[in-house]
Amino acid sequence: MRLLALNKPFGTICQFSPHETRASLADWVKVPGVYPAGRLDSDSEGLLLLTDDGALQARIAEPLHKLVKRYWAQVEGAPDSVALTRLASGVDLGDYVTRPGHAQLIEPPGTLWPRIPAIRYRAAIPTTWIELSIIEGKNRQVRRMTAAVGFPTLRLVRVGIGALDIFSLGLEPGASLDLPPRAPWDGIR
C-alpha cells in the first residue's frame, strides 16, 4: 500500500492524463499506480493525498467518515460574524446545503508560499483570510460557500487533511513524500 502527500501547485489539474494547457499530477508525481483521494480544482493549491488502496481512498474522500479537511481562503472583503456563522452552520448552495463545519478569521499567513501568478490586487477592496474546516469536499464547495455569503474566494489552499498538516510535512509546491503505512496521525485509517 502506498500513500503519498503532495503539495499541489496552483494551475495543476487533479488527473494524471496530459492536458493541453495545464500541468497535471503526472508533472509532479512519478509513482505509478496511485490516484488522488479527493480532488482540488486547478485554481486551488495545497495538500492532496494519493494512494493505490481503494478502501483508503474512499476513507479519505467520503464525508461519511468525517475526516476534516482544513482550508485557508483569501476572500474579497471583510466577513463579519454573521457570514462566519453562516459558513460554519451550513450554506444553501441551491443544489445542496453544506454540512456544518468551522469557520474563523485568521491573520494573513506568513508561512504560506507566494502564489504564481499572484492574485489580482485591488486597492479599493480589502482581502481577508478565513480558515474553514469541513468534512465534505464537493466540486468547488469552499469557493461556492464563500461566494454565497458575499465574500468571493481569491486564493484557496488546503492546509490539512485529518491530523496531517502541509507545513509539518515540509512540502513546498510540487513536492511530494511517501507517508508511512502505519502513521501516528492514524485519523485516516
Active site residues: 41
Q: What is the DSSP string of 112-141?
A: SPPPSSPPP--TTS-EEEEEEEES---TTH
> Residue 71 — φ and ψ, nearest 5°?
-125, 145
* DSSP structural state of residue 173: T
Report the C-alpha gap between 60 and 166 in whole angstroms: 16
* DSSP structural state of residue 43: T
* DSSP structural state of residue 26: G
Residue 86, CA distances (Å) to 66, 137, 148 in order: 20, 17, 9
Establish how many alpha carbons lie within 13 A of residue 179's alpha carbon, considering only the half-sphere containing its beta carbon: 27
- β-pairing, 44-51 vs 153-161, is parallel
